[in-house]
Amino acid sequence: MKSEFKNYSYIFLGSLFLSFGVVALFIPNALVTGGTSGMALLGHYLFKLPVGVLMIAINVPLLFLGTKYFGKHFTLRSIIAIGFTSVCIDFMVEFLHVNALSHDVILASIFGGIAVGIGLGFILSGHASAGGSTIIAKIVASKTSIKASSVMLFIDMLVILAIAFISQNIDLALWSLVSIYISAKSIDMFLTRGPSKKVVHIVSTKIEELCAQIVPLLGKNGTIVEGNGIFEHENKRMIFLVVENRKIPMLKELIQTADKEAFMVVMEASELLGRGH
């Protein structure tokens, strides 16, 4: 029960973000988002029907169709997410009369993309979906050799081409594409939120000496990895570490002082799990 309460809290909060982004930034500037939500916006621009009604009409049948792919609980949460988002969108438009935050299409595509991305991030964190394009992608992928990601990209491209054709304005299509990209990046950042850290790999012939100096600086958490060189198959050892950003300069200085021949690679730690993370 506690887990489901958390899921539905995420879903309702995400629906509010998503609805606000669509009503306050996308609709006033004739922008679209990707997937079936984008189809609903297209239907609104073409037939002047409420966006929320169109979202339900497009998504709910697809979710019922995809029950066997995602399970009953996921489908139920997704139906609630779509239903609540649809009600929020139409309520904001028809009753609250939410005004446009900006009529600048550039600002709308950027901040609308962020709002929609955060909303979708919350909904995904609640183990639900706000669109049925994933269902279409799954079905096509299961029946053919086409990847699900390729199907979803194809759907997004169709939506973009449609808005360009309907509006006769290529700028709107391009800014809609920008908003889809920003939404995707916002979702990634939201889902992988956490402490900003780096993954560091250090290859050296002086591993023991380096470890003796690294432990007082960074603590005991780290791993020594054994390996072989690819050319002469000589034995090599590598230190694997997760390091806070602010300590990277000190680590670099330490390594250069201890072993000028050491090889160091620094990468983003986009997501951490375990050991307090």
CB atoms within 10 A of CB 226: 8
Quickly state the pLDDT bin for 99 (edges 50, 70, 90). Answer: very high
What is the residue-wise DSSP string for the chain?
-HHHHHHHHHHHHHHHHHHHHIIIIIGGGT---SHHHHHHHHHHHHH---HHHHHHHHHHHHHHHTHHHH-HHHHHHHHHHHHHHHHHHHHHHHTS-PPPS---HHHHHHHHHHHHHHHHHHHHHTT--S-THHHHHHHHHHHSS--HHHHHHHHHHHHHHHHHHHHT-HHHHHHHHHHHHHHHHHHHHHHT-S--EEEEEEE-S-HHHHHHHHHHHH-S--EEEEEE-TTT--EEEEEEEEEEGGGHHHHHHHHHHH-TT-EEEEEE-----STT-
Cα distances (Å, whole numbers) of residue 255 to 204, 229, 246: 9, 21, 16
Q: Determine which of 33-37, 102-106, 266-270 has the lowest per-residue pLDDT on average.
A: 266-270
Nearest Cα residue to 227 out of 215, 239, 243: 239
Query: Average pLDDT of 248-256?
Result: 88
Nearest Cα residue to 243 out of 260, 208, 267, 225: 267
The structural domains of the chain, ordered by start, are: 2-191 (no CATH), 197-268 (3.30.70.120)
Strand 235-244 relative to strand 263-268, pairing? unpaired
Higher pLDDT, 239 or 189: 239
Token reading at 89: 């969108």
Q: What is the pLDDT of residues 32-73, one digit of tens each?
A: 998 888 999 999 999 999 999 999 999 988 888 878 777 888
What value does the CA radius of gyration of the chain take, rounded to a whole number of Å? 24
Q: What is the pLDDT of residue 195?
A: 58
Q: What is the pLDDT of residue 229?
A: 82
Residue with tokens 């929320």: 52
Q: What is the pLDDT of residue 112?
A: 95
CA distance 35 to 70: 18
Q: Determine which of 50-59, 169-178, 262-271 has the lowest per-residue pLDDT on average.
A: 262-271
Average model confidence (pLDDT) across the chain = 88
Residue 132 has pLDDT above 80, yes or no: no
The answer to pTM > 0.85 is: no
Query: Average pLDDT of 151-174?
Result: 89
CA distance 56 to 88: 12
